[in-house]
Amino acid sequence: MPVASFEEIQSRIGTEIGVSDWIPIDQQAIDTFADVTGDHQFIHVDPEAAAKTPFGGTVAHGFLTLSLLSQMAAGVMLIPPTIRMAVNYGFEKIRFIAPV
């Protein structure tokens, strides 16, 4: 994680701080997430049935996408040098506006 002073972090409020690397999501990852969460809705785990939907194939779970935010943020999140530990405080106004 990039290190930055509190002042630098404060000056960047409202600006883009970076873009993460791409994270490939294959059907095996989707199926594993379905097994862990118990969400086996066909749109996620049945490629044949999902192909007949407007999406044209399976769609990753919204919460699978959300669960990757920690990994995506790790490379771009600015951390003050005096911080030894941080916790995820949560998110506000999360919406799944496009299929993945």
Per residue in 56-84, pLDDT (tens digit) is 999 999 999 999 988 888 878 888 888 88
Q: Indicate which CATH number applies to the domain containing 96.
A: 3.10.129.10
CA distance 69 to 72: 5
81 assigned to some structural domain: yes
Per the structure, the count of domains in the chain is 1
51 assigned to some structural domain: yes
Domain extent at residue 2 = 1-13+23-100
pTM for this structure?
A: 0.78
Contacts of 90 (CB under 8 A, 6+ apart): none
Secondary structure tally for the chain: helices H, strands E: 6, 0
65 assigned to some structural domain: yes
Instruction: Give per-residue pLDDT as tens, 1-21.
Output: 677 888 888 898 999 888 888
Residue 17 and residue 72 in contact, taking contact as beta carbons nearer than 8 Å: no
SS3 49: helix
Other beta carbons within 10 angstroms of residue 64's beta carbon come to 20
Residue 12 and residue 78 in contact, taking contact as beta carbons nearer than 8 Å: yes
